[in-house]
Chain A
Amino acid sequence: MSVPQSEFIQRDRGQHPPGFSPGYKTSTLRSPRLALWSLQNSLSEFTGPVFGREELGPLDHDLLLNYAKTGEPIGERTVVHGRVLDENGRGVPNTLVEVWQANAGGRYRHKNDTYLAPIDPNFGGCGRMITDETGAYAFRTVKPGAYPFRNHVNSWRPAHIHFSLSGSGFAQRLITQMYFEGDPLIPMDSIINTIPDPAARQRLVAPLDLNAAVPLDSLAYRFDIVLRGTRSTLFENKLQGN
């Protein structure tokens, strides 16, 4: 039997934070001490869940409206947009993108968040969407606030939005965070600094994109995301899929 093969390019761990990053204290007890076992991709790795647009509601992607009860949330109206690409530079179409964030005051709608900034009654702080045929996505939100967390006594997270990417294969699964250009808290953040390579850190900083701003309405930031691409196995297997 012939099984189509479209293995992913080996992950370059140098682009990522190591599991054990003592500057981020919680990682010390939650990071494996033994080496990861390298596993050549089988069907179990290069397949993954498929999601349909019909599963999502019409406002699921709109953080300005998807939890609005008595009005719209307070904060800087912001568009975030970009493309999900693979390492070969191709758009990743029809893939699930999920986002979550604090409100404009830096407070999360979460039962474990006890920060003194108030909950916004009109802001849930999460959204989800599926990329179009070119890999593009876009959503509206309010810019999240900075907030303190207990890493050092006076440690603050820069404004950020969490992104979860599904990809087409389970081995592409990725969770990351997007930061905002010009935020003075970024260089001292213990989370972004788990990434050793300064150039890699910089790729998580979304530039202001005035061209995508909506005049008299919203500012815009652009954040492109790269998932793993598939290998060119020119002679090993049937040529396809890359």
Chain B
Amino acid sequence: MTKLEYLPETPSQTAGPYVHIGLIPHQAGFDIFEKPFGNILAERNTKGERIRIEGRVLDGLGSPCKDILLEIWQANAAGRYNHPADGQTDKPLEPGFRGWGRTGTEFDTGLYRFDTVKPGPVIGRRGYKTMAPHVNVWLAARGINIGLATRMYFDDEAALNEEDPVLRMIEPAVRRQTLIARRENRDDGVVYVFDIRLQGENETVFFDV
């Protein structure tokens, strides 16, 4: 019989309480790299609506987790990812916009923040409808043995959300609400509030991607 020579994926391990040292050292209390990665995705001239994404990550008792690493990955305002496998060449790339950022929930408040632009809709899988604007979210921390993947959608995109092939799949439908961020117009700009519930009541939908 032919032997299938696939290699098994390396097992995941928790990022631990000191994940900040490696990935966001400033939060650990020191600076080491000349160009650290951070939570500001958009430059002054980046096209699109400037938004802040803000929220908390809550554990099974509803307490904010203050040591979570979060990363986001998103398309630009036109709905194109800055990656060679994105073949939507009818949409422009945005110079200087990688579409990725990382941060940690703050040790004192438990809040996280990203400053970015609102992404545009992205083509869906072959045979499926366009995906509503969304931000892909990945989180890791002490007590999380394998990174958790979820998506954030926008509450002012109700019509597109209704048609979104991923949201539509989720049953019972009430759980779709866990992926929808709430828009707030604050004095300093537009904020989408997105709390992530790791466990328990209104547990966020996480994906096996």
User: B86 in the interface, Cβ–Cβ < 8 Å?
Assistant: yes
Bound CA span A52–B142, Å: 29
Question: Nearest chain-A residue to B71 (Cβ)?
Answer: A173
B60 in contact with A176 (CB, 8 Å): no
* B35 close to A57 (CB less than 8 A): yes
Pick the contact of B145: A6, A18, A29, A168 (CB < 8 A).
A18
A39 to B122, CA, bound (A): 16
**Cα distance A2–B123 when bound, in Å?**
10
Instruction: State whether the Cβ of B29 lies closer than 8 Å to any Cβ in chain A.
Output: yes
Residue of B nearest to A161 (CB): B22
State whether A1 touches B123 (Cβ < 8 A): yes
Contact B87 A3 (CB under 8 A): yes
Interchain CB contact under 8 A, B208 and A39 = yes
What residues of chain A lie closer than 8 Å to B177, measured between beta carbons? Answer: none
Q: Does A21 contact B (CB under 8 A)?
A: yes
B135 to A, closest residue via Cβ: A44
Q: Is B110 an interface residue, CB under 8 A from the partner? A: no
Among B6-14, B42-50, B186-194, the stretch in contact with A = B6-14
User: Which of these, A27, A57, A176, A237, contacts B33 with CB under 8 Å?
Assistant: A57
**Distance A164 CA – B14 CA, assembled complex (angstroms):** 11
B42 → chain A closest CB, angstroms: 15
Return the chain A residue nearest B31 by Cβ: A124
Asked if A113 meets B18 with Cβ closer than 8 Å, knowing A24-B145, A27-B143, A171-B209, the reply is yes
Question: Of B73, B107, B199, which contacts A44 at CB under 8 A?
Answer: B73
A40 to chain B: closest residue by CB: B125
Known contacts A46-B85, A98-B23, A170-B138; A30/B11 CB under 8 A: no
Interface residues of A: mostly helix, strand, loop or mixed?
Answer: loop
Cβ-defined partner of A31 (8 Å) among B17, B22, B198: B198
Min CB–CB distance B11 → chain A (angstroms): 5
A164 pairs with B23, CB closer than 8 A: yes
A227 on the interface (CB 8 Å rule)? yes
With a CB–CB cut-off of 8 A, which chain A residues contact B61?
29
Q: A87-B9, A171-B149 are in contact. Are A24 and B32 (CB under 8 A)?
A: no
Is B141 part of the binding interface, using a Cβ–Cβ cutoff of 8 Å?
A: yes
Which of A7-15, A70-78, A210-218 is near enough to bind chain B?
A7-15
CA distance A4 to B89 in the complex (A): 11
Cβ–Cβ < 8 Å partners of B98 in chain A: 49-50
Q: Which residue of B lies closest to A228 (CB)?
A: B9
B1-29 CB mask vs A (1 if < 8 Å, else 0) is 00001111111111111111111010011
Q: By the criterion of a CB under 8 Å from any partner CB, how many residues of chain B are at the interface? A: 82
Q: Are B147 and A175 in contact (CB under 8 A)?
A: yes
Cα distance A43–B12 when bound, in Å?
A: 23
**Is B9 touching A12 in the complex (CB atoms < 8 A)?**
yes
Q: Does A125 contact B (CB under 8 A)?
A: yes
Contact B85 A43 (CB under 8 A): yes
Residues of B within 8 A of A222 (CB): none
Contacts of B9 on A, CB cut-off 8 Å?
11-12, 15-16, 87, 174, 226-228
Residue in B11, B33, B203 whose CB lies within 8 Å of A34: B203
Whether A99 pairs with B147 at a CB distance below 8 angstroms is: no
| Complex Cα gap A73–B145 (Å) | 31
Name the one of B17, B32, B100, B124 contacting A126, with C-beta atoms under 8 angstroms.
B32
Contacts of B144 in A (CB 8 A): 19, 27, 30-31
Instruction: Judge whether A43 and B14 touch: CB under 8 Å.
Output: no
**Across-interface contacts of B81 in A (CB, < 8 A):** 43-44, 47
A to B CB contacts below 8 Å, 8 in the list: A28-B143, A37-B170, A44-B81, A109-B21, A174-B147, A200-B8, A204-B13, A226-B9
**Which B positions have Cβ atoms within 8 angstroms of A?**
5-23, 25, 28-30, 32-35, 59-61, 65, 67, 71, 73, 75, 81-88, 90, 98-100, 107, 122-126, 128, 131, 134, 136, 138, 140-149, 151, 166, 169-170, 198-200, 203-209
Top 3 closest pairs, chain A to chain B, by CB: A100-B22, A26-B143, A49-B100
Chain A residues within CB distance 8 Å of chain B: 1-6, 8-9, 11-13, 15-19, 21, 24, 26-34, 36-50, 55-57, 60, 66-67, 85-89, 98-100, 108-113, 124-126, 128, 162, 164, 168-171, 173-177, 191-192, 194-195, 197, 200-201, 203-204, 225-229, 237, 241
